[in-house]
Amino acid sequence: MKNILTKGRISLLVIFSVIIIDQIIKIAVKTHMYLHESIHVTDWFYIYFTENNGMAFGMELFGKLFLTSFRIIAVFLIGWYLIKIIKQGAKTGYIICISLILTGALGNIIDSVLYGILFNESSHSAIATFLPAGGGYSTLFYGKVVDMFYFPIIDTTWPMWLPIIGGQHFIFFSPIFNFADAAISCGIIALLLFYSKYVNETYHSHA
What are the tens digits of pLDDT across the range 27-63? 999 999 999 999 999 988 999 999 987 655 445 555 6
* Residues of the chain by 3-state class (helix, strand, coil), percent to 5: 55, 15, 30
Helix 2-30 vs helix 64-87: crossing angle, to nearest 10: 150
Element (H, E) at 42: strand 38-42
pLDDT at 203 over 70: no
| pLDDT at position 201 | 64
CB atoms within 10 A of CB 162: 10
Q: Which residues are catalytic?
A: 147, 181
How far apart (Å, rounded) are the C-alpha atoms in residues 73 and 191?
21
Beta bridge partners of 176: 150
pLDDT band, very low/low/confident/very high, at 77 (cuts 50, 70, 90): very high
Q: Does the pLDDT value for residue 204 go beyond 70?
A: no
The strand order across the sheet containing 145-150 reads 38-42, 45-52, 145-150, 176-177
180: Cβ contacts below 8 Å, ≥ 6 apart? 18, 22, 103, 104, 105, 106, 107, 108
- Which pTM does this prediction carry? 0.85
